[in-house]
Structure 1
Amino acid sequence: MLARHHDPIVAIATAPGRGAVGIVRVSGKAIAPLVERLCGKALKPREASYLPFKAADGQAIDQGLALYFPAPHSYTGEDVLELQAHGGPVVLQLLLARCLEAAQAEADSGKPLLPGLRLAEPGEFTERAFLNDKIDLAQAEAIADLIDASTEAAARSASRSLTGAFSQEVHRLRDALVHLRMLVEATLDFPEEEIDFLQKADAYGQLDQLRATVQAVMQRTRQGALLREGIKVVIAGQPNAGKSSLLNALAGAELAIVTPIAGTTRDKVAQTIQIEGVPLHVIDTAGLRESSDEVERIGIARAWEEIAAADAVLFLHDLTRMAEPDYAEADCQIAATLQQQLPATVPVLQVWNKADALTPDEARRQSAESAKQFSTAAAAGPAGEQAPLVLSAKTGDGLDTLRQQLLAMAGWQPAAEGTYIARARHVQALQQVEEHLDIAHAQLHVDSPALDLLAEELRLAQQSLNAITGEFTSDDLLGVIFSSFCIGK
């Protein structure tokens, strides 16, 4: 544990701004003398006391509730004091200053009452909860995800992770992996015993079961990561195809300016929408075309930059202009460029807009004929061949179908009751586990398995699993994770 983790800390634990209630939190070892100095009396553990909070000169700063949680029965595992006052910024700053001042005041021994008390860093209270084994790292991350949850589904999933649902999955995997490692390493350590673990202990079956379980957990973890992070969807197409209108229709608000003038959108307009609780970060971009206007050219260059960084691209066509050879040719050129520049894993969804300007039969015929101009790979990406998706951003017809297509592109499956929140690093860690188990599987099936290599792959797989819950985690990673928390949490 780093030296700074031994310092007592204090911070305002509620969000900035005015509110009905604000909280100042102190955490550290042996803070009971500070509690008595601040509150004027000793407090009963875990019992709220209504009392005045006084400045050094005896004048009241405020009246409120004080709660004292002696270690280890507290959020951080240390002694914790919470002062709950009225939520005005000035009041809370005065209370914070009073805590720091009282800590430096002399005790009867002539020494500071609580030496070293300092302002907490972002996420430091939760970091201490992790370091003191109150929660594991996956649960700590779930706390931040619960605070940041933007949908009911995300909040429920974060709550499941916080209660340990995800961690329990990881621990079950680890226990099975440790059992298999024990058999392999026993053979290495005691070759005279002639332990034939390959057949007697069904090592083949154990490893196959491990691999199948990892795949199942990874699938649920991908769904959890999708709930937390969503995907970036870029709307691309020629000017006046209706990109801004489509963004407005999906968002349900007039976010982007819409005019009949080609090139109205000069820069990206972004909005996060939610479909069945999944966040989709949708970006409207400048129309793609050759232009002599310097400002528009910059906007087009930025559009291609956004497309290159997209998780999925929505390629919008104007049904009313598909019969124009120049327009159709330009769309084909855009499709070819998308196919060249985007990885095969990034899907491109073809959408035909302005169906309201044609009869239903004309719209179906025009979109079907237009779809033939695009290759299967360019039209649908890894999802395969797709039927023409026809809609009207103006009237809203076809938007529900588009929303379901966007969910499918994101890889979302209807949320099961047991879905838990997860992060990209969890998915990456499980991928590493899968890779090591695949190598172990290959090694196990050669004629003369090298058991030392097999044991090493199993050890590396366990190390990747431990990184999820923090049982094996670098200090650098901890710094990155907890620095994203708010101060006071």
Structure 2
Amino acid sequence: MLARHHDPIVAIATAPGRGAVGIVRVSGKGLAALVQALCGRTLKPREATYLPFRDAQGQAIDQGLALYFPGPHSYTGEDVLELQAHGGPVVLQLLLARCLEAGAATDPATGQPCLPGLRVAQPGEFTERAFLNDKIDLAQAEAIADLIDASTEAAARSASRSLTGAFSAEIHTLRDALIHLRMLVEATLDFPEEEIDFLRKADAHGQLSNLQQTLASVMQRARQGALLREGIKVVIAGQPNAGKSSLLNALAGAELAIVTPIAGTTRDKVQQTIQIEGVPLHIIDTAGLRDSEDEVERIGIARAWDEIAGADAVLFLHDLSRQDAMEYIAAEAEIASALAQKLPQTIPVIDVWNKLDRAPAAAAIAAEGAGQAETRRGVWLSARTGEGLDGLRRILLEVAGWQSAPEGLYIARARHIEALRAVSAHLQEAADQLQAQGPALDLLAEELRLAQNALSAITGEFSSDDLLGVIFSSFCIGK
């Protein structure tokens, strides 16, 4: 534990701006003297007390509720004091300054500062204290931030399940089974002449196979949970006036982008996050792709290609009303060629044939392809009337990799997926060793040890200070 982890900390624990209630939170060891200085009295544990909050001269800053949580029965595991006042920014800043002032002031009973070393908390430091004091594990700590940042109801519910320990319980079940198998393998190292029969009788192969099957199930659920958290980035691309902005508006259900018959209306990206079955999709409308003499439009087109390059999926929008125009067909071929060159094959391109309401007979022409690859998905729709939008939504879910949400889905992060992949790789190496003739049991034991370390990194039982710094720095101050 770093030296700063022993410092008492204080911060405003509510969001910036005005509100009905604002909270200033203090955490540290031995807050009794500070409580007396701030509240003018002792407080009963876990009982709200209505009283004035006074400055050093005895003048009331505000009146509100004070709550005292003696450690270890608190959020951080340390003593915690919460001052709940009116949520004006100035009031909360005055209370924060008063806490720092009172902490440095001399306690008449001891002649020492009331709370020496009290400082303003860094982002996420309260939750970091909770982790370091074993109130929560690392996956639960991350779930707190995910719950706050959730962009859909499904993501919020999944983050809540992770916060209660659902994901951690799955990891602990895997870890316990892995530890049991490690003990079995390492015990055989002391009996080299009987090791193979010993492992066979203990069904080490069956235990390892069951571990891999359980891990596969956890990975599948974790991928779905990560999808709920992250979503995917979908870029709408195509020629000017193909209906890109209209499609964005139709998917979002709001007039977000300006729609006119004038080519080049959209000159910069317009982004909106929508949800389909709880999965967040970050839809980006871009400038029409064409050669242009307008400097501003050229910048917008360059930015469009930048967005396309970073997309998880691209909606290539085609205008059914212009399918017979030779100039339009040639431009389509150029865009298709550029997409093929600039995008990896792993990034799906979905052909969207728009303006079905203006050219209902053109669907058959569009189906012939215009260079469409056999593996490319396609959908025919009208962004103006909404016809065919449900089909596009279904395709987007398929592209995202979403399956019907299993019961009790938990939130997960990219680092969790990477850790589970590492576990899977180590278990496969272990299985290969176990199946080989004359297996090297020391190598088998090492692969199992590495698999356990990768699992433990998810819950923070095996982690570095650098990892903790990255995770908690993304939290808000006061949390």
> So what's the TM-score if we normalise by structure 2?
0.97
Please show how residues 300-379 of structure 1 align to structure 2 within 5 Å. 300-359=301-360, 362-369=361-368, 371=369, 373-377=371-375, 379=376
2:472 is matched with 482
**Percentage of identical aligned residues:** 77
Q: How far apart are residue 155 of structure 1 and its match?
A: 1.0
Shift of 1:330: 2.7
**Match of residue 63 from structure 1:** 63
2 CA distance for matches of 1:205 and 1:194?
Answer: 16
Counterpart CA distance in 2 for 1:81 and 1:197 is 57
For 1:414-457, what per-residue CA distance to the aligned partner results, in whole angstroms no more than 9, with x for missing partners?
22231111111111111111111122222222112111111111
Q: Secondary structure at the match of 1:422?
A: coil
Task: Report the aligned-residue RMSD.
Answer: 1.5
Indicate conservation of the 8 Å contact 1:319/1:353, yes or no.
yes
- Whether 1:273 and 2:279 are equivalent positions in the alignment is no
Counterpart for residue 431 of structure 2:
441
Distance 1:372 1:266 in 2: 27
- The 5 A counterparts of 1:76-155 are 76-107=76-107, 108-155=109-156
- The one-letter code sitting in structure 1 at the alignment partner of 2:105 is A
Do 2:138 and 2:460's aligned partners in 1 also have CA atoms closer than 8 Å?
Answer: yes
* CA drift at 1:193: 6.0
1:191 offset after TM fit, Å? 3.0
Q: Note the C-alpha offset of 1:192.
A: 5.9
Distance 1:308 1:269 in 2: 16
Note if contact 1:238-1:288 (Cα within 8 Å) is conserved in structure 2: yes
C-alpha distance in 2, partners of 1:290/1:444?
Answer: 61
Contact 2:229 2:411 in 1 (8 A): yes
Q: Can you list the C-alpha shifts for 1:386-420, whole angstroms capped at 9, x where unaligned?
A: xx411111111111211121111111112223111
Bigger shift: residues 468-477 or 434-443: 434-443
Unaligned 5+ runs, structure 2: none
The CA distance in 2 between the partners of 1:322 and 1:213, in whole Å, is 51
Distance 1:427 1:291 in 2: 43
Name the SS for the 2:189 alignment partner.
helix
| Aligned-partner residue type, residue 114 of structure 1 | L
**Aligned-partner Cα distance in 2 for 1:169–1:462:** 14
**Deviations, residues 226-255 of structure 1 (Å, cap 9, x unaligned):** 111100001111121111111111112222
Aligned residues of 1:332 and 1:374 also touching (Cα < 8 A): no
Shift of 1:460: 1.1
Give, in whole Å, the separation in 1 of the partners of 2:32 and 2:197: 60
Give the one of 374, 391, 406 matched to 1:401.
391
Contact 1:184–1:197 under 8 Å retained in 2: no
Aligned counterpart, 1:385: none
Structure 1 residues 337 and 189 mapped into 2: Cα distance closer, same or farther (>3 Å)?
farther
Q: CA deviation at 1:195?
A: 6.4
Whole-Å separation in 1 of the counterparts to 2:26 and 2:242: 57
Q: In structure 2, what is the Cα distance between the partners aligned to 1:189 and 1:243?
A: 69
CA distance in 2: counterparts of 1:337 and 1:447, whole angstroms: 52
> Secondary structure of the equivalent of 1:209?
helix
* 1:24 corresponds to: 24
Deviates more, 1:16-25 or 1:290-299: 290-299
Distance (whole Å) between structure 1 residues aligned to residue 13 and residue 104 of structure 2: 21
Amino acid paired to 2:53: F
* 1:246–1:393 contact (8 Å) kept in structure 2: yes
CA distance in 2, matches of 1:327, 1:367: 13
Whether 1:282 aligns to 2:283 is yes
Q: Which amino acid aligns with 2:47?
A: E
Structure 2 residue identity aligned to 1:405: I
Which region of structure 1 is more displaced relative to structure 2, 299-308 or 170-179? 299-308
With over 3 angstroms needed to count, the CA separation of the structure-2 counterparts of 1:194 and 1:241, relative to structure 1, is: closer
Counterparts of 1:405 and 1:168, CA distance in 2: 33
Q: Are 1:213 and 2:210 matched, yes or no?
A: no
1:323 CA displacement: 2.0
Distance 2:371 2:272 in 1: 31
Equivalent in the alignment of 1:161 = 162
Residue pair 1:12, 1:23 contacting (<8 A) in 2 also: yes
Secondary structure of residue in 2 paired with 1:376: coil
The residue type equivalent to 2:352 in the other structure is V
SS at match of 1:426: helix
Aligned residues: 478
1:432 to 422, 435, 442: 422
User: Judging changes above 3 Å, is the alpha-carbon distance between structure 1 residues 236 and 84 closer, same or farther for their aligned structure 2 residues?
Assistant: same
Classify the secondary structure of the residue corresponding to 1:135. Answer: coil
Three-state SS of the structure 2 residue aligned to 1:337 is: helix
Pick from 408, 420, 440: which aligns with 1:418? Answer: 408
Report the residue type matching 1:198 in the other structure: L
**CA–CA distance in 2 between the matches of 1:216 and 1:367?**
41
Amino acid at match of 2:363: R
Aligned to 2:100, the other structure's residue is in SS state: helix
Matches of 2:181 and 2:218 in 1, distance apart? 19
Matches within 5 A, 1:5-20: 5-20=5-20
Given that 2:69 and 2:79 are in contact with CA atoms closer than 8 Å, whether structure 1 keeps it comes out as yes
1:97, distance to aligned residue in structure 2 (A): 1.1
1:292 equivalent in structure 2: 293
Distance 1:344 1:445 in 2: 36
**Offset at residue 335 of structure 1 (A):** 2.3
2: distance between equivalents of 1:341 and 1:189? 57
Tell me the alpha carbon deviations over residues 161-184 of structure 1, each in whole angstroms, 9 at most, x when there is no partner: 000000000000111111111111
The structural deviation recorded for 1:131 is 0.2
Equivalence for 2:202: 201
Q: Could you tell me whether the CA contact under 8 Å between 2:189 and 2:195 is conserved in 1?
A: no
SS in structure 1 of the partner of residue 383 of structure 2: coil
> Displacement of 1:306 after TM fit?
1.1
1:464 and 2:454 correspond: yes
Structure 1 pair 448–325 and aligned structure 2 pair: CA distance change class (3 A): farther
Q: Secondary structure at the match of 1:432?
A: helix
Q: Tell me the TM-score normalised to structure 1 length.
A: 0.95
